[in-house]
Amino acid sequence: MSPVFQVQNLNKAFGGLAVTQDVSITMNPGDRVALIGPNGAGKTTFVNLVTGHLDPDSGKVLLGGNDVTSLGPTPRVRQGLVRSFQVTRLFPDMTPEEHLALAVMQRTGRTGAIFGHYQAKADVMAEVAELLRTLGLDHIATRKVAEIAYGQQRLLEIALALALKPKVLLLDEPAAGVPQSDTPRIEAALAGLPSDLAVLMIEHDMDLVFRFARRVIVLAAGAIIFDGSPQDVTRDARVREAYLGSYANDRSAA
Contact with other proteins (CB under 8 A): which of 115, 237, 253, 254?
115
Report the nearest approach of other proteins to the CB of residue 103 (Å).
6
Report the phi/psi class of residue 48: left, alpha or beta, with left for phi > 0 and alpha for psi in -120 to 50.
Answer: alpha
81 and 68 Cβ atoms separated by less than 8 Å: yes
Site for other proteins in 69-98 (CB under 8 A): 73-75, 77-78, 82-83, 85, 89-95, 98
Pattern 41-60, binding to other proteins, x per CB under 8 A?
Answer: ----------x---------
Does position 106 interact with other proteins (CB under 8 A)? The reply is yes
How far, in Å, CA of 48 to CA of 40, rounded?
A: 14
Does position 229 interact with other proteins (CB under 8 A)? The reply is no
Does position 117 interact with other proteins (CB under 8 A)? The reply is yes
Does position 133 interact with other proteins (CB under 8 A)? The reply is no
The total number of residues shown for the chain amounts to 254
Does position 193 interact with other proteins (CB under 8 A)? The reply is no
Residue 55 neighbours by CB under 8 Å, 6+ apart = 49
Does position 116 interact with other proteins (CB under 8 A)? The reply is yes
How far, in Å, CA of 167 to CA of 31, rounded?
A: 11
Return the closest-CA partner of residue 140 out of 130, 127, 153: 153
Q: How many CB atoms lie within 10 A of CB 7?
A: 22
Report the nearest approach of other proteins to the CB of residue 246 (Å).
23
32 vs 107, which CB is nearer to other proteins? 107
24 and 227 Cβ atoms separated by less than 8 Å: no
Contact with other proteins (CB under 8 A): which of 4, 23, 105, 242?
105
Contact with other proteins (CB under 8 A): which of 12, 43, 107, 154?
107
Does position 154 interact with other proteins (CB under 8 A)? The reply is no
Report the nearest approach of other proteins to the CB of residue 8 (Å).
24
Residue 172 neighbours by CB under 8 Å, 6+ apart = 47, 83, 84, 85, 86, 202
How far, in Å, CA of 184 to CA of 86, rounded?
A: 18
Q: Which residues bind other proteins (CB under 8 A)?
A: 51, 73-75, 77-78, 82-83, 85, 89-95, 98, 101-103, 105-107, 110-119, 141-142, 146-147, 160, 164
